[in-house]
Structure formats: C-alpha cells, structure tokens
Amino acid sequence: MMEWIMANMAPIMFASLALFLISGIPVAFALASCGLLFAFIGIELDMLPPSLMQALPLRVLGIMANETLLAIPFFTFMGLVLQRSGMAEDLLETVGQVFGAMRGGLALAVVVVGSLLAATTGVVAASIIAMGLISMPIMLRYGYDRRVASGVITAAGSLAQVVPPSLVLIVMADQLGRSVGEMYAGALLPALMLIGAYAALVIVLAILFPKMLPALPPEALIYKEPDGGSGLRSLALLALVSVGAGWLALRFYPLVLQAVDRNVDAPKDELVMVALAGGVLFAFLAALVDSVTRLGLLSTIARRVAFVLIPPLLLIFLVLGTIFVGIATPTEGGAMGAVGALVLAVVRRRLDINQCMDALLATTKLSTFVMFILLGATVFSLTFQAVDGNLWVEHLFDQLPGGSTGFLIAVTAMVFILGFFLDFFEIAFILLPLLAPIADKLGIDLIWFGVLIGINLQTSFLTPPFGFALFYLRSVAPAEDYVDAESGKTIARVTTGQIYAGAVPFIAIQVVLLGLIIAFPQLVIGDRAFEQKIKLAPGVITDRMRNLQPGGGYKAPEMDMDALFGTPPGTAPAPEAAPAMPPEPAPAEKR
C-alpha cells in the first residue's frame, strides 16, 4: 500500500487537487493546501527533504517582484474606469446609429463595439452584460432574429481572450515566459481575422435573410440634421480626410524618426500603428475645432462619432503603440492607459470620487484573488515538482501518438473542456506551467501555442451548454415576455435554446480559424516583425541605454534574483533584472 502511494504520488496529488477544487473552497487555498498537505505526507514518508518549504519565501518574493504581473491592476483599473464612465453605453448607441440605417447594422455595431471593449476593458462578463442590456432590447424591438441577436453578442463579448492589449495576453505571455510585445504581435492578426469573420457572417446573413436582420426604421435614427438628412455623408467625408491624414503621418514618420536619431526602418506593426493613430487623432482634432469654433462643417453624427468612438481608440493606440514603439514596458503602457482612462472620464464628468474609489476597490480585490491563485499555484508546483509531477505529466503526453500534432490536439481538447469549468486565470496558472515546457521541448512555438489556447478558450466560453458567455447573456436577456416601453408591443422572451443556437455559427468560425492557425502558423508567427525589429534595430536598445546613462548611477544590470535563488518555474524570467529595461529585448537575447 505504502509503496503504491509512493510510486503514484504525482497522480494522487493531481486527483486530490481536482477534488479540492470542486469542493468549492477558494481556488487559491485549494492549490496551496494541496501543495502543503502532500509536502507534509512526502516528508513523513521520507520521500521529500524536510527543507522543501524553505524554498517558498523566495518563490513568493519572485511573484511579488514580477514586473509583468503589475499590469494586472493597471489594466483592470483602466477597464473598470471605462466601464463605469459609461463607455459601452455611449459606444453602442453611437455606432448603432451609424450602422443602424442598413440591414444588419445593429449586429455589426455589436461586433465593432465588442472588439473595442475586448481590447480596452477585457472583461467578458461586463462586455456581454452591457451589450445584452443595451443592444438586445433594441434588436428585439425592431424584429431581429433572436438567435442572431444573442449569437453576435456572446461572440463579440468574449473576444477579450484574443484582442490585444487585453490582460489575458499579458498573463499568458508571463506564464509562457515570452515577452508581452511578442504575444500582442502574434495575437493581432488572428484577432483581426476573427473580428473580420464575425462581421462577414453578419453581412452575409443580412444579404441572404433580410428579415432576420432588419434595418432601423427612419424614426429610430435620432441624430438628424436640421434639413432632415442623416449626416452620414459628412461622416464619410471626415473618415476619408482622416485616412488621408493617416497616410501623411505614415509618410512623415521616417522624418520624425530621424529627428529623434533613430535611423532605422520601423517595422510594419509600428507603421500600421502610426498611420492609424495619425488618422484617428486628426479626426478628433477636426471635430474638436469644428465644435469649439461652431463652424458647423460636420454633421451631428460625425461629431458624435468623433467624440465617442475616438477616445477609446486613442487609448488602445496609446497602450499598444507605446509598447510596440518601445517607449514603455507593457506594465507602463497599462499604467498610462489607466491614467488616460481616468483623465477621459473626469474630462467628460462621468466619474466622481466615489465611483473612482469603487473602481479602485474592485481592482484591488481582483488583483488580490489573481495574485493569490498564483501564490497557491506556486506552493502546489513546489511539491508537485518535488514528487516528479512534471515528469508524470510529460510522460502522459509521451504516450500520445502523433508527436507535436498529437500533443496539440490533446491540449486543445483538454483546454476546451476545462474552459467549461475553469476561468482563464486558473487555466493560466495551473495548466500552462505544466504544458509550456512540453510544448517547448516538442519544438512548438510558444507564442503560437498561447494564441491557440486563447482562441480555444474563447470557443469554450461560447459552447453550449456550459459556456460562460452564454450564462452571462442568459442572466440579462428577457426570460419572460415583456411589453416594450417604446413601441408598446409585447415582445416574446428569449429562450435558452435560442441563445445556444445563436452561438453555433460563431463556434463554426472559431473552429475554422483554429484550423487555419494550426495549418498556417505564420499567421501568428508571421515574419516575427517584432523580433526582427529588436534584432535589426539596435537603435531601440541603445536609445534606452543612453537614457539611462546621463542620470548617472545606473550600473549594469545586476544578477537577477532567480539566478541567485533558483528560478521558480512558470514565473517570468528575472523580475528584478534591469528594471529600467523594457522586457522586450529579452527573447532576442535568449535565442
């Protein structure tokens, strides 16, 4: 009996963890106490050294000093401030008005707004609830097919798993030991493809089944010009001129680079960012000038779009742009985004001190539970590795046929099923540290692996009957027939079956995209523009070095804490190494 236990310590420990987790005690404590219990058993059985737990404080310190994880409160706070200052509501209303006049317009608006919310707030529950409360009743009022309406909301609302600069990608990068910049760059194209595919599906449906996605009737369009026109022509003109401005920004960007002594060709992703930011900034300034001088050149809806749609876009560019260009680390990018969101909310008088404190309190609690899951996972992994659990997991996957493909299929299936029960953070902190080394050994690109897991999780959140996204929508969609206040008509309830059915075409899109990414890894890896920038452009690095020299006092990076005390597996490399350097250059040096 004893022998059997000792020989099978790792599987027994893993099974116990599953038991602890489903018993419903807090995840952090389940992980920690499982680790501690088996450390105790192992020490009693003379399997493990009594000093095992002595390694714990330094691992905890590694978590405390992890610069990347600092991004968790920053991005959370940014999202909460945007959410509480009513961004989702404003966006849905305005974008709905822009597209509303055409068939399928409201559904398109949900896709656009869902993507923006995913990038900025990154909270699936909040996005879906906002869209379910605001867009759903409007779509139902004007006769949208219920399945289409709920499908588009759940799919667009769960995009947060994959759209940069979402927090999910930061934590993923940290757990995979890769730079956040690479992760963003890798996820960018797949995310855009997903959004594009959602929009395409909506458009195709609107063409094939006009009755399922009707246009808003004229009386529902609230932004009208004095002469009765829609003002959309003015908006189109503004958009066109802004594209021109973006193009100009692209043309003059090299001159700017020369002016700041960076004589290098900027990589593609940076150029795209500059062009977009230039165009968007121009549109905003134009609307501002028009509104301040009361010129009246722009229509109501054009001004409205400029003032509502552009601030969140600018925030995304601020965060992504500073990270891609190398001005800021992802953590600092998040902090700037948070400050930007705060400034926006205050300028628009949408946030008072009490709401701000509530947002801070919610941020504090979320960061605490996330960091404690990580702490618990550390205790667990300390013991799990001591009983050779990582070898056991590796061995499990060894027996699979098909090498790296077999591994990927097994992981995909596993993550998909676990996604029904576990949230992202649990999967990231418990599963990724076990899987990443195996993937790495099999020669799987970890960025590609991470993006696959992200899309996979999103699919899982969408899949009936367990998907989280479906539950969130169910909680706000009308469960009883109701009388619509605006039209006076009785509107039938949305059944759970309709919510499930609505998700199906979107799941199909997810599966096709997953297949595409598996078949064509270059969609994620691309030409590794990001890495090349670092390799080919020492300018970024020397620029940074120069910044550090004149202040005096900066000495060469010290030996990092992990090197001194042993690397905690699964945590990011070198929390303290050269804190003044952005983490981006690290991967290039690693190879």
Partner 1 sequence: MIPLLLRLSAGIDAINRMVGRSCIWLILASILISAGNAWTRKLFDASSNAWLEIQWYLFAAAFLGAAGYTLLVNEHVRIDALSQRFSARARAWVDLLAFLVLVLPFCGLLIYLGHELFWRAWVSGEMSHNAGGLIRWPVYLALPVGFVLLFLQVVSEIIKRGAWLAGHRTRSQDSEADLPPLRIGGAAPQEGGR
For partner 1, the binding residue among 241, 360, 409, 491 (CB under 8 A) is 360
> Within a 10 A sphere around the Cβ of 2, how many other Cβ atoms?
7
Number of residues that bind partner 1 (CB under 8 A): 77
Q: Which of 591, 582, 571, 586 is nearest to 65 (CA)?
A: 571
Cβ atoms 124, 468 nearer than 8 A: yes
For partner 1, the binding residue among 140, 274, 371, 455 (CB under 8 A) is 371
CB of 51 to partner 1, least distance (A): 12
Site string for partner 1, 127-156 (x = CB under 8 A): ------------------------------
**Contacts to partner 1 from residues 291-330, by CB under 8 A:** 322, 327-329
Half-sphere exposure of residue 301: CA atoms within 13 angstroms, side-chain side: 26
Cβ atoms 560, 574 nearer than 8 A: yes
> Is residue 513 a contact residue for partner 1 (CB under 8 A)?
no
For partner 1, the binding residue among 479, 512, 579, 590 (CB under 8 A) is 579
Long-range contacts of 191-195 (CB under 8 A, 24+ apart): 191/115, 191/159, 191/162, 191/163, 191/164, 193/513, 193/516, 193/523, 194/159, 194/162, 194/455, 194/509, 194/510, 194/513, 195/111, 195/115, 195/159, 195/163
For partner 1, the binding residue among 12, 272, 307, 367 (CB under 8 A) is 367
CA distances in angstroms from 363 to 76, 77, 110, 170, 366, listed in the order given: 6, 6, 26, 16, 5
For partner 1, the binding residue among 369, 392, 471, 482 (CB under 8 A) is 369
Cβ proximity to partner 1: between 37 and 189 the closer is 37
Half-sphere exposure of residue 214: CA atoms within 13 angstroms, side-chain side: 14
CB of 369 to partner 1, least distance (A): 5
Cβ proximity to partner 1: between 369 and 392 the closer is 369
Instruction: Choose the binding region for partner 1 from 102-110, 143-151, 358-366, 388-396 (rule: CB under 8 A).
Output: 358-366
> Is residue 8 a contact residue for partner 1 (CB under 8 A)?
no
Rounded CA-CA distance 34/380 in Å is: 6
> Is residue 558 a contact residue for partner 1 (CB under 8 A)?
yes
Instruction: Choose the binding region for partner 1 from 102-110, 127-135, 368-376, 497-505 (rule: CB under 8 A).
Output: 368-376
Widest CA span in the chain: 88
Q: Is 483 helix (H, G, I), strand (E, B) or coil?
A: strand
State yes or no: cis peptide before 465, omega within 30 of 0: yes
> Is residue 357 a contact residue for partner 1 (CB under 8 A)?
yes
Cβ proximity to partner 1: between 298 and 325 the closer is 325
**With b meaning 16 or more CB within 10 Å and e meaning fewer, what string describes 122-150?**
bbbebbbbbbbebbbbbbbbbebbbbbbb
> Within a 10 A sphere around the Cβ of 584, how many other Cβ atoms?
23
**Contacts to partner 1 from residues 53-92, by CB under 8 A:** 53-54, 56-57, 60-61, 64-67, 70, 73-74, 77
| Residue pointed to by tokens 């596993």 | 414
| Residue pointed to by tokens 């618990």 | 376
CB of 21 to partner 1, least distance (A): 5
CB of 546 to partner 1, least distance (A): 8
Rounded CA-CA distance 168/426 in Å is: 12
Instruction: Choose the binding region for partner 1 from 272-280, 414-422, 480-488, 522-530 (rule: CB under 8 A).
Output: 414-422
Locate all alpha helices (DSSP H) within 293-329, ordered by sequence.
300-325
Site string for partner 1, 162-201 (x = CB under 8 A): ----------------------------------------
**Contacts to partner 1 from residues 20-49, by CB under 8 A:** 20-30, 32-33, 36-37
Cβ proximity to partner 1: between 256 and 559 the closer is 559
**Contacts to partner 1 from residues 325-354, by CB under 8 A:** 327-329, 331-336, 338-339, 353-354
Rounded CA-CA distance 28/372 in Å is: 5
Cβ proximity to partner 1: between 84 and 528 the closer is 84
Cβ atoms 48, 386 nearer than 8 A: yes
**Contacts to partner 1 from residues 376-405, by CB under 8 A:** 379
CB of 364 to partner 1, least distance (A): 5
Cβ proximity to partner 1: between 23 and 293 the closer is 23
With a CB cutoff of 8 Å and minimum separation 6, the contacts of 228 are none
Cβ proximity to partner 1: between 64 and 222 the closer is 64
**Tokens coding 501:** 């059915």
CB of 585 to partner 1, least distance (A): 15
Cβ proximity to partner 1: between 211 and 349 the closer is 349
> Is residue 559 a contact residue for partner 1 (CB under 8 A)?
yes
CB of 337 to partner 1, least distance (A): 9
Rounded CA-CA distance 370/347 in Å is: 31
> Is residue 270 a contact residue for partner 1 (CB under 8 A)?
no
**Contacts to partner 1 from residues 417-446, by CB under 8 A:** 420-423, 425-426
Cβ proximity to partner 1: between 107 and 379 the closer is 379
Rounded CA-CA distance 35/31 in Å is: 6
CB of 583 to partner 1, least distance (A): 13
Cβ proximity to partner 1: between 402 and 557 the closer is 557
End-to-end CA distance of the chain: 47
**Contacts to partner 1 from residues 229-248, by CB under 8 A:** none
Cβ proximity to partner 1: between 98 and 375 the closer is 375
Residue 421, by phi and psi: left (phi above 0), alpha (psi -120 to 50) or beta? alpha
Cβ proximity to partner 1: between 367 and 532 the closer is 367
Rounded CA-CA distance 591/587 in Å is: 6
**Contacts to partner 1 from residues 470-499, by CB under 8 A:** none
Cβ proximity to partner 1: between 246 and 333 the closer is 333
For partner 1, the binding residue among 142, 253, 307, 372 (CB under 8 A) is 372
